[in-house]
Amino acid sequence: MNTRTADLTPQRLTDRKRVAVIAAAIEEFLAAGFDATSMDRIAARANVSKRTVYNHFPSKEALFAAILHRLWEASHEGEAPAYRGDQPLRPQLMALLTRKLRLMNDDAFLSLARVAIAAGIHSPERARDMVARMGEREEDLTVWIRAAAMDGRLAADDPVFASQQLQGLVKGFAFWPQVTMGQPPLTDDERSRVAASAADMFLACYASAS
C-alpha cells in the first residue's frame, strides 16, 4: 500500500465530512432558526454521527461561527490588501471597503445574520459571543488603520474605535436595512457610492495634515 495515499485519504474523508456538516447546518439554521436547530438534526441531515459533528465543532455556537467565517472567506479573493506607505490612502481604503461590501451583498450571509440577530435577542450573552466572533473577520480594517497611523498618515489614536466608525458608515446602508427591513442588496453603483462616501468621510476626519 502506498503510505502517502494511506495518510492522505483519511484527511480527505474528514474534510468531506466537515463540509457536509457545515452545509447541513446552514440548511437547518435557515429552516428552523438557531434555538430550534440541534446538533442531532444537523448530524441527521449531514448523514454523519453526532460524535462526528462534535469532533469538528465543540458547540452549536462554534459551528455557527465557522459558517460565518466560511461565507466571509468565500466572498473574498485572496488576502486583504496590506497597507502601502508608497500609495495614496483613498484607493487602498476603497479596496478594503469593496471587499466588505461584497460580503454584505451575499444572500446567504444576510440570511444567517438574521438568524444570529434573532437568536441574540433572546440571549444577550449569546449575542455578545456572536458579535465577538463576527468581529474577528473585520480585523483587516483595524490592521490597515493601525499601520497607516503608525506611518503618520492617519491621526487615529484608537484604531479599533476608528474601524468601528468606518464599519458603521458602511453597514448603515449595506447591512442593517437589508437584515432588519428586508431592503434589497445594493447595486454595483450603490456599493461604489457607499464605499466612496465612507472613505471620504473617514479620511476627512482622520487623514493627517502632514
Structural domains of the chain sorted by starting position, each given as residue range(s) with its CATH number in brackets: 3-58 (1.10.10.60), 77-206 (1.10.357.10)
Cα separation, 204 vs 189, in Å, equals 22
pLDDT at residue 106, as a whole number: 79
Cα separation, 58 vs 151, in Å, equals 41
Cα separation, 199 vs 210, in Å, equals 18
Tell me the CB-side half-sphere exposure of residue 176, using CA atoms within 13 A: 7
Residues 21-48 as b or e (16 or more Cβ within 10 Å = b)? bbebbbebbeeeebeebebebbbebbeb
For helices 39-46 and 3-32, what crossing angle results, to 10°? 120
Residue position matching grid coordinates 448530524:
43
Which residue, 118, 142, 146, is CA-closest to 130?
Answer: 118
pLDDT tens digits, 87-124: 999 999 999 999 889 878 878 778 777 877 777 777 77
Chain-wide mean pLDDT for the chain? Answer: 83
Cell numbers at residue 169, please?
A: 458608515
pLDDT at residue 1, as a whole number: 42
pLDDT at residue 73, as a whole number: 62
pLDDT at residue 10, as a whole number: 45
Is a pLDDT exceeding 90 seen at residue 133? no
Residue 51: how many CB atoms within 10 A of its CB?
Answer: 9
Task: Say if residues 105 and 191 touch (Cβ distance below 8 Å).
Answer: yes
pLDDT band for position 40 (cuts 50, 70, 90): very high
pLDDT tens digits, 52-66: 999 999 988 888 878
Is a pLDDT exceeding 50 seen at residue 5? no
Is a pLDDT exceeding 80 seen at residue 165? yes
Q: Which residue has the higher pLDDT, 161 or 134?
A: 161
For residues 73-77, average pLDDT: 56
Which residue, 125, 130, 129, is CA-closest to 115?
Answer: 130
Q: Which residue has the higher pLDDT, 56 or 12?
A: 56
Is a pLDDT exceeding 90 seen at residue 83? yes
Cell numbers at residue 107, please?
A: 444572500
pLDDT at residue 84, as a whole number: 96
pLDDT at residue 35, as a whole number: 84
Q: What is the pTM of this model?
A: 0.71
